[in-house]
Amino acid sequence: MKFNNKKRALAHKSIYQTIIFILVAIFLFIISTEFLFKDYEMAKYGLIVFIVLLLIYIFRGHEYFEYDSTGMVVSIKNDSIFKEEFRPELLVAVEFPKEKLDHYKIQNY
C-alpha cells in the first residue's frame, strides 16, 4: 500500500509562498516608512517579531509525508515542502522490515 499527501503539500506550499510574499512586503513597508511609527516604537518591533516568528513557524514543519508498504520493507519519508528544494539532506526517511511490525498501529495524531 502506498500513499502520500503531495496534493495537499503543494497547496500548502502555494499558500505559504503567498503569505511569505505579503509578510516581506509588510516588513519592507515598515522599514521604509519609519517616520509613521515614531510614536509606536514598541508596536513596530512587536510586528517585526511577529513576522519573524511566523516565518520560523512556516519553515519548521514536515508537511510532506510518504508511506510505502509494498514488498518486504516498510518505508516512511517525512520532509518539509521548502527544505526539499534548498536542503535535501534534511529528509527524514525510515525503512524497516515488516517482520518487526507486530501489533503496531499508525495513528493520526
Give pLDDT tens digits along the chain (109 positions).
787 777 777 777 778 778 888 888 887 787 777 666 666 667 777 777 887 887 777 666 666 778 888 888 888 887 776 665 666 666 778 888 888 877 767 777 5
Nearest to 65 by CA among 6, 25, 16, 19: 6
pLDDT at 85: 61
- pLDDT score recorded for residue 90: 64
Q: Is 64 exposed, middle or buried (0-12, 13-18, 19+ CB in 10 A)?
A: buried
Q: Please tell me the predicted confidence (pLDDT) of residue 65.
A: 76
Q: Which amino acid is at 67?
A: Y
